[in-house]
Structure 1
Amino acid sequence: MTSEQSTPPQQQYAERSYRSPAALAGGGLLILLGLWLGGDALLRGVPQTKIMAAFALILGVPLVAAYTLRPLVRAGEDRLLVRNPFRTITLPWGAVDDLRAGFSAEVFTSGGKYQLWAVPVSLRQRKKANRQAARGANPRGRFGPQADAGPAPRAMADQTMDELREIKERAAHRESAKGEPVVRWAYGIIAPCVVGAVGLIVTMAL
């Protein structure tokens, strides 16, 4: 038996995950800075300062993580999972009407729209891609026509939305891709933020 015959068949589709590398890096640095400053206040501060530092960390660390580390878009074979700062939305592809990237990336359903925090839209990157595409449309150099430069460049957010639309088109008519959107609140993020905010307000009022 050959190696090809003994190898199990591969999946027809592999999930794709989208996150912002800049947000991950920035969020990690902010959390480390906050832990360093807050830890110093907890070790060296007076009692009231220690209490305020503790509540500031309880508020600040989850809040920074919510907006930088938590956002995620995962495109599965039948569903699109959107993890935003305080909510997780599961959307069967059959429930998705459209995907657009204007000033922000958004997914539209019959019940409304949801922002894709993990797919930031860079207008600067889009303008740069448009300029490169315009130069490619007129490829004459100083010494005559230039060789074909290949497909026109696209901004990262626009490329991501193109990929998601392609997955949606492939899945929209499958029975397993039908259903209603499911929204879940991220209470593990919300609860400590509320505790930290209330604690800070009470401590500062004393």
Structure 2
Amino acid sequence: MTSSEPPAEPTYADRVFRSPAAMAGGGLLLAIIGWIVVDAAVRGEGRAPWVALTVALFAVPLIVAFTFRPAVHVNDERLRIRNPFRTVTVPWGAVADVRASYSSELVTQSGTKYQLWAIPVSLRQRKRAARRQMQRAADDPHGRTSVTADVSDDESRMAPADRTIAELRATAERLGGRPEAQGEPTTRWAFELLAPLGAGAVLALVLLAL
């Protein structure tokens, strides 16, 4: 007996956008904090180990929040913006614009703005890309490097952040009308980072009171 139901469409993993430079810097800072805490625990005297633990409870969540945590997860129904202390899920139908000036941000149909921490804007990279475009335009008065140059070639000349923003904007325009991409944005706070920060604050108060 055969089924009349159409085959289900395959489900693909989210595409993830991150900042490799931020993650590398975060790894270095965590290594330094770890070395300080271990050194204080082994060789420290008096309150030194407790002070080191308090600093770690503050520093580690902050480093993770601003370097490892930021990411933008994208699939055919929505994009999930993971910023330092909250995660915002926005269906494509609720996206009005994705843009970048001095920072990257998403604007919803209701006018709410969300920063995209995972896609930092580098003015240096933007200036470098502009110089490359000017050089190519000078080499070819028509602004084309070959007879096969196309839009994808123009996008390749953009700064990385601007190229990513352009891709997200095009995706929103392409998928925003799909029925499964409708809905309202939702927000979840990163309590897994806020909790150790609170514990660090309590420990700091205890140390000051002693």
Normalising by structure 1, report the TM-score. Answer: 0.87
* Structure 1 runs (4+) greater than 2 angstroms displaced: 8-15, 146-152
Residue in structure 1 matched with residue 133 of structure 2 by the alignment? 133
Q: Deviations over 1:135-154 (max 9, x none)?
A: 111216xxxxx953953410
Residue in structure 2 matched with residue 20 of structure 1 by the alignment? 19
5+ residue gaps, structure 2: 1-6
Query: How far, CA to CA, are the matches of 2:68 and 2:11 in structure 1?
Result: 30
Query: How far, CA to CA, are the matches of 1:181 and 1:12 in structure 2?
Result: 22
SS in 2 for 1:80: strand
**What is the CA distance between 1:191 and its match in structure 2?**
1.1
Output the amino acid matched with 1:59. Answer: F
Q: Does 1:78 align with 2:77?
A: yes
SS in 2 for 1:29: helix
**What is the CA distance between 1:10 and its match in structure 2?**
8.3
Residue in structure 1 matched with residue 120 of structure 2 by the alignment? 120
What percent of counterpart residues are identical? 48
**What is the CA distance between 1:83 and its match in structure 2?**
0.2
Q: Deviations over 1:108-166 (max 9, x none)?
A: 111510000000100000001011111111216xxxxx953953410000110111112
Query: How far, CA to CA, are the matches of 1:43 and 1:56 in structure 2?
Result: 16
Query: How far, CA to CA, are the matches of 2:191 and 2:56 in structure 1?
Result: 17
SS in 2 for 1:138: helix
Q: Does 1:162 align with 2:166?
A: yes
SS in 1 for 2:107: strand
Residue in structure 1 matched with residue 196 of structure 2 by the alignment? 192
| Contact 2:101/2:121, CA 8 A, preserved across alignment | yes
Residue in structure 2 matched with residue 57 of structure 1 by the alignment? 56
Greater shift, 183-192 or 162-171, is seen at 162-171
Change (3 A) 1:180 1:10: closer
Change (3 A) 1:132 1:175: same
- Report how many residues are paired: 195
Change (3 A) 1:9 1:129: farther
Change (3 A) 1:204 1:154: same
